[in-house]
Structure 1
Amino acid sequence: MKARAFLPVLFFGLVTVSCRKPDEVEISETRVLTTLDEEPAVNATSSEQFLPPEVLSQIQASGQSLDGSEAAAGSSAWIYLLPAADWKEADKAPMREVNLTFGDGEQAGEVYLSVSGGGLQPNVDRWYRQFGADTQPIAELGRLEFLGKQGYLVEATGRYEPGMGRPGKDGQALLGAIVEDQGRLVTVKMIGPEADVQARREQFVKFVASLARK
């Protein structure tokens, strides 16, 4: 009998608590909505999600497609912004996932992207050796935006010895970018006549910043 008398009282107490109205709160401040407040774009491409806004707007304004059909003709894995009219798509080549040229004629230079293994320092050391230059520790290199991270910038000038049976050239320059991404090293190298490479330094940095995986 005591249990029967107790249960209705407990139930009544639960109902009473659940029916209480929440306290009223006065709004005293407002703020601008950010992307964190927006509904997620379920069908957004990787470019729309990860490219810097200024790069994304430039690609859209130039008429290049975000799926890579125009922005990265000849590359099945990457999209990017070509920063100047004399940057051209080149034929596919072994070990190069993106292959471009800049300039004209015999003085044309090359820009290419590769994905490989190994360590950061050994790769950077090899680049310096190709120019007969003293290597520099990774920690002392310049930085640049690369795949949403801080990549390392390598610069060298002099006689370029590419190896693999290719002849060397005097008066050349290198701008190289390297970053670790998804367990691999992604590298971009610009090589060509010293004056031409140095004149395109800003273009190189802009190109590297625009790179994104499809």
Structure 2
Amino acid sequence: MSLLNRSILLCRPALVFGLAAMLSFSAGNFAVAEEAVADKPVVVDVFGAGTLEVPAEFKKTTPKSRILEHEFEVKEGEAEDAPAARLTMMAAGGDIQANLDRWKMQFSGSDKKVGEAEEKKVGDWSTHVIEVSGDFSERMGGGPFSGGRTVQRKDYGMLGAIIVHPEGRKYFVKMIGPQSVIEANRDAFKEMIATIGK
């Protein structure tokens, strides 16, 4: 065997080890970078005049209805099979109190609870947040004002917010799901609504 071939054979393990280490380091850096991107909050534009900063743990999904502008999955904990709620966002109209009353009427049962609506001024915007729990009547298809099968969801809750633009336009944000999920994410929801005034 020539001296050159012997040198190549002796160096090969070191080359292989070095290449493997480089690939491992690159993959590790890519995973960290990917995780950093995944952990960034989503910023939602509201009428081109304000934004909502959605917590990174609220995962963006495809809206289940065409009238929705945005939808997110909100979980209780990080487990794959953890209970989840839907967070939806859309521009809408109508009287504030009439909408809040309509949301209340979607819940029933002996355990129904309706919190006091919280009205706050956030910069030039005003926000109206309400929490309701009980048995939720979920309409499957057909939209909020038309037909469709209704399913009763036991021990559900809702955090709903109406965000009012300085010129009167309204934006609805609703989180609906198992009551335990609503309770676990109550503070994060309210903090998100408050970001409209930033």
Structure 2: distance between partners of 1:146 and 1:188: 16
Following TM superposition, by how much is the alpha carbon of 1:90 offset from its aligned partner in structure 2, in angstroms?
A: 0.9
The structure 1 residue matched to 2:157, chosen from 166, 170, 173, is: 173
Higher strand share: 2
Structure 1: distance between partners of 2:87 and 2:123: 17
The structure 2 residue matched to 1:96, chosen from 62, 68, 74, is: 68
Q: In the alignment, residue 118 of structure 1 is paired with which amino acid?
A: G
SS of the equivalent of 1:167 reads: strand
With over 3 angstroms needed to count, the CA separation of the structure-2 counterparts of 1:200 and 1:155, relative to structure 1, is same
With over 3 angstroms needed to count, the CA separation of the structure-2 counterparts of 1:203 and 1:193, relative to structure 1, is same
Following TM superposition, by how much is the alpha carbon of 1:105 offset from its aligned partner in structure 2, in angstroms?
A: 4.0
Give the equivalent residue in structure 2 for 1:114: 90
Following TM superposition, by how much is the alpha carbon of 1:114 offset from its aligned partner in structure 2, in angstroms?
A: 1.6
Cα deviations by residue, 1:37-93 (Å, 9 ceiling, x for unpaired): xxxxxxxxxxxxxxxxxxxxxxxxx779xxxxx8348x99785323242x1001033
Aligned identity (percent) is 23
Cα deviations by residue, 1:192-212 (Å, 9 ceiling, x for unpaired): 111110111110012112248
Give the equivalent residue in structure 2 for 1:153: 129
Structure 1: distance between partners of 2:179 and 2:113: 18
With over 3 angstroms needed to count, the CA separation of the structure-2 counterparts of 1:107 and 1:99, relative to structure 1, is same
- TM-score by structure 2 length? 0.59
Give the equivalent residue in structure 2 for 1:71: 42
Give the equivalent residue in structure 2 for 1:130: 106
SS of the equivalent of 1:118 reads: coil
With over 3 angstroms needed to count, the CA separation of the structure-2 counterparts of 1:90 and 1:210, relative to structure 1, is same
The structure 2 residue matched to 1:210, chosen from 178, 183, 195, is: 195
With over 3 angstroms needed to count, the CA separation of the structure-2 counterparts of 1:209 and 1:154, relative to structure 1, is same
* Residue-pair matches, total: 144
With over 3 angstroms needed to count, the CA separation of the structure-2 counterparts of 1:76 and 1:166, relative to structure 1, is farther
Matched, 1:199 2:184: yes
- TM-score by structure 1 length? 0.55
Q: Of the two, which has the highest radius of gyration?
A: 1
Aligned 8 A contact 1:116 1:186 in 2 = yes
With over 3 angstroms needed to count, the CA separation of the structure-2 counterparts of 1:91 and 1:76, relative to structure 1, is farther
